[in-house]
């Protein structure tokens, strides 16, 4: 069966096609938030087979396979790589209208030149031919980044990380910038005192600071911010449900920290309050440094306790959460803005019912100091498909300025995920192309094309100062 991903895939009229082919397709990629393992780039990993690079760690695919009734042994179990791939090939034809169907075939075509639909009938041929190509140096971790015209990669790294892999990459003079991203979630995750105190031991070792009291924690985190900055970092990221928290003074913060440090549990309200003041301290430091801060809000993680116990986190048992976001965000950002310590900020929303809240929130704190200072980040996780991206851009267009948008990121652990940028760019061009066709935008292809190329590349380059 012939491939359905043609040159004009997703581009439904001539305007969309012109915008994509002339203004979007050739733009380099800035991947300012992803979960690629820096070790793989440092070692320039050569992947053993297609399963290793494509299925390992991909909870999107795992969820689809489980839904179809595939036994867990073929998903995360100890069956062979080829058997796991065969089960994925059986699953793909049943993913019609799920973005996995589009992503799967985009990735096969862009990286491997495969122009067949994946199915049980084509599984062996595709597995063998792609696995053979993966042995070529051009298909190493670094080679795959080169193939996709990537300019910058920002990974997601814990404050206690040594960043040894980033140092190795920098020493090699790899032409693509691979920069750390500061992700301090573990520093304010108080849900389990034993795990938290174990983490603080790692942070002590990394910073060389004994963390006996609240002030020590802040000093250690500030030390790591300086360390990350020395390794090229200029941005942070935070994955939390909400920015909810009751503002408390230093006295209470010290008291709560002492309690958790001694191994006692904190109530949910006290956990939120302690996290709130730590985040404020961090965000003030980011502002001082001129960093960009990112907040991924709204995920309900590890909903299945049985599978969490069996497989651990990030294995496909998370969903969209239903939280109150507006008041918490407004109060948190206002606390920082009131002392002119609100840094450039990107907020990502996981619940589509909150899109208008996020799109209007950024307008409250855009102060003219920086173009697009506050950003409603690209459609995230469950929403980074065609409908979700269109909705995010429509809401942003109506309530903000789409022209200032910093565009797409992979947010992925896979080196084969870069066609998601193409998917986003085609969706963007089709959205604008339909408006041009309908006469809803001026018939000025050059100006509209400039807006497209800005969103695809130039806005992010300027915003992050890459």
Predicted TM-score (pTM) of the model is 0.97
Residue 373 is predicted with a pLDDT of 98
Give backbone dihedrals phi and psi of 276, rounded to 5 degrees, phi first: -60, -50
**pLDDT band for position 4 (50/70/90)?**
confident
pLDDT at residue 37 above 70? yes
Q: Which residues pair with 344 in a beta bridge?
A: 292
166 contact partners, CB below 8 Å, separation of at least 6: 38, 42, 155, 157, 178, 179, 180, 231, 232
User: Measured between alpha carbons, how far apart are the two ends of the chain, in Å?
Assistant: 43
In the structure, what pLDDT confidence band is assigned to residue 246 with cuts at 50, 70 and 90? Answer: confident
Maximum Cα interatomic distance, the chain, rounded to a whole number of Å: 69
Residues comprising the chain, all counted: 466
Alpha helices, DSSP H only, in 20-122?
38-42, 50-54, 59-67, 81-91, 99-112
Domains of the chain: 47-139 (1.10.2020.10)
> Which strands make up the sheet holding 29-31, listed edge to edge?
29-31, 150-154, 177-179
pLDDT tens for 183-225 read: 999 999 999 999 999 999 999 999 999 999 999 999 999 999 9
User: Which three-class secondary structure state does DSSP give residue 345?
Assistant: strand
Of all residues in the chain, what percent carry a pLDDT higher than 70?
Answer: 100
How far apart (Å, rounded) are the C-alpha atoms in residues 427 and 433?
10
Task: Give pLDDT tens digits for 139-185.
Answer: 999 999 999 999 999 999 999 999 999 999 999 999 999 999 999 99
80 Cβ partners below 8 Å, 6+ apart? none
Average pLDDT over residues 279-293: 98
**Residue 25 gets which letter from DSSP?**
T
Confidence check: pLDDT of 2 > 60: no
Token pair for 28: 């380099």
Pairing of strands 299-300, 319-320: antiparallel
8-29 pLDDT tens trace: 999 999 999 999 999 999 999 9
Per-residue pLDDT at 73 exceeds 90? yes
Cα 18 from chain centroid (whole Å): 29
> In sequence order, what are the residues at sequence separation of 6 or more whose Cβ sits closer than 8 angstroms to the Cβ of residue 416?
53, 54, 107, 111, 144
Residue 3's pLDDT band, with cuts at 50, 70 and 90, is confident
CB atoms < 10 A from the CB of 332, how many? 21
Burial class (CB in 10 A: 0-12, 13-18, 19+), 205: exposed
| Average per-residue pLDDT for the chain | 97
Q: What is the pLDDT of residues 349-358, one digit of tens each?
A: 999 999 999 9
Taking 3-state DSSP, the helix, strand and coil percentages for the chain, each rounded to the nearest 5, stand at 55, 10, 40
- The pLDDT confidence band at residue 434, using thresholds 50, 70 and 90, is very high
Q: Looking at residues 272-301, what average pLDDT do you find?
A: 97
pLDDT of residue 359: 98
Question: What is residue 64's predicted lDDT score, i.e. its pLDDT?
Answer: 98
């Amino acid at each position: 069966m012939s491939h359905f991903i043609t040159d004009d895939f997703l581009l439904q009229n001539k305007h969309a096609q012109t915008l994509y082919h002339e203004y979007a397709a050739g733009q380099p990629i800035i991947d300012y938030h992803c979960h690629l393992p820096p070790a793989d780039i440092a070692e320039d990993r050569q992947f053993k087979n297609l399963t290793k690079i494509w299925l390992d760690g991909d909870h999107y695919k795992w969820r689809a396979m489980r839904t179809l009734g595939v036994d867990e042994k073929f998903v995360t179990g100890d069956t062979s790589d080829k058997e796991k791939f065969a089960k994925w090939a059986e699953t793909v034809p049943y993913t019609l209208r799920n973005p996995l169907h589009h992503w799967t075939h985009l990735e096969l075509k862009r990286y491997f030149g495969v122009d067949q639909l994946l199915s049980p009938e084509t599984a062996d041929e595709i597995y063998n031919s792609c696995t053979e190509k993966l042995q070529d140096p051009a298909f190493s971790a670094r080679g795959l980044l080169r193939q996709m015209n990537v300019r910058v990669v920002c990974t997601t790294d814990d404050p206690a990380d040594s960043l040894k892999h980033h140092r190795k990459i920098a020493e090699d003079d790899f032409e693509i910038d691979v920069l750390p991203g500061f992700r301090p979630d573990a520093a304010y995750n108080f849900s389990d005192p034993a795990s938290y105190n174990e983490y603080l031991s790692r942070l002590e070792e990394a910073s060389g600071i004994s963390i006996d009291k609240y002030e020590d924690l802040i000093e250690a985190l500030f030390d790591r911010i300086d360390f990350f900055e020395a390794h090229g970092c200029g941005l942070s990221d935070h994955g939390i449900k909400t920015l909810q928290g009751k503002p408390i003074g230093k006295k209470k913060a010290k008291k709560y920290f002492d309690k958790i440090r001694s191994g006692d549990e904190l109530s949910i309200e006290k956990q939120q309050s302690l996290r709130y003041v730590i985040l404020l301290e961090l965000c003030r430091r980011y502002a001082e440094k001129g960093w960009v801060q990112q907040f991924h809000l709204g995920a309900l993680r590890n909903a299945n306790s049985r599978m969490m116990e069996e497989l651990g986190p990030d294995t496909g048992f998370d969903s969209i959460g239903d939280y109150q976001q507006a008041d918490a965000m407004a109060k948190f950002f206002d606390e920082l803005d009131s002392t002119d310590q609100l840094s450039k900020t990107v907020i990502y929303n996981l619940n589509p019912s909150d899109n208008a809240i996020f799109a209007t929130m950024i307008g409250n704190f855009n102060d003219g100091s920086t173009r697009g200072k506050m950003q409603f980040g690209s459609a995230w996780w469950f929403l980074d498909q065609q409908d979700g991206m269109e909705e995010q851009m429509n809401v942003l267009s109506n309530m903000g300025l789409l022209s200032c948008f910093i565009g797409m990121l992979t947010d992925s652990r896979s080196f084969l995920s870069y066609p998601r940028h193409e998917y986003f760019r085609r969706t963007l061009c089709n959205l604008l192309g339909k408006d041009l066709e309908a006469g809803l935008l001026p018939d000025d292809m050059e100006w509209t094309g400039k807006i497209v190329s800005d969103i695809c590349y130039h806005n992010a380059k300027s915003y992050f100062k890459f």
